[in-house]
Amino acid sequence: MFASTLRRSVLLGILGLFVAVGAAGADDKKDVPVDLKVGDPTPAFQLRNDADKIWNSSDHFAKKWVVIYFYPGDFTPGCTAQAKAFNAAMDKLTEKGVEVVGVSGDSVRTHELFKKTHKLSFTLLADSEGTVAKQFGVPVGKGATVKARDAANKPLDLDGKQYEFERTATAARWTFIIDKAGKVAYKNIKVVPPDDAKKITEFIEKANEKK
């Protein structure tokens, strides 16, 4: 009886080890960063936009050129310069059948204010946990407290006080272009904010010339 009990204990111990190893392996896979490359299918996702409505990638991808640009946050100098450059290029990009979408960890409310303040004509998506950024392989850091500034770079006042907000996640500044087949056609992980729209426009122009 002792031998039987011993064998059962050993078997249970081995089984527990396999389960533990399997669980650890699953956790390791969760932590492996995504390495999205040009030519890869684009991850599908849903996020709320600056109008607090669902933006579903399946309604946009594989139908037109779509620029998805991840940026650290609203109302910061570099991100404001990047957004304004895209806004200035929107007429030309729209003529070429291009949709531009900005994604950051800011809330719907903050996106709404940022868009209104700078009169942006394209969609902003709220990726508050950085989940979609991670699907694209974009590094995501901790959040930040930001004091909003208006188009004249003065404190943005709401209800008699400066608007200050908390961003829960901060994504790196990466830009992707999704082609009409729904695949990654362009990836830039070293974006210069004021030049991003220009590079995108040039890429689309060259791509259209090849057809």
Q: How do residues 77-121 score in pLDDT, each as one tens digit?
A: 999 999 999 999 999 999 999 999 999 999 999 999 999 999 999
Q: Is 79 a catalytic residue?
A: yes
- Residue 127 main-chain phi, psi, to 5 deg: -110, 70
Instruction: Please give the structure tokens belonging to residue 133.
Output: 């950024």
Question: Among residues 161, 153, 196, which one has the least CA distance to residue 177?
Answer: 196
pLDDT tens, 125-166? 999 999 999 999 999 999 999 989 888 888 888 877 888 899
Q: Does residue 30 have a pLDDT over 70? A: no
pLDDT: is 65 or 17 the higher one? 65
- Arithmetic mean of pLDDT over the chain: 87
What pLDDT is recorded for position 12? 44
pTM for the model stands at 0.83
The one catalytic residue among 79, 89, 124, 126? 79
Question: Among residues 50, 46, 37, 74, which one has the least CA distance to residue 189?
Answer: 37
Question: Among residues 133, 169, 122, which one has the least CA distance to residue 45?
Answer: 133
Mean pLDDT for 10-35 is: 50
What is the separation of C-alpha 208 from the centre of its chain, rounded to a whole number of angstroms?
26
Q: Does residue 19 have a pLDDT over 90? A: no
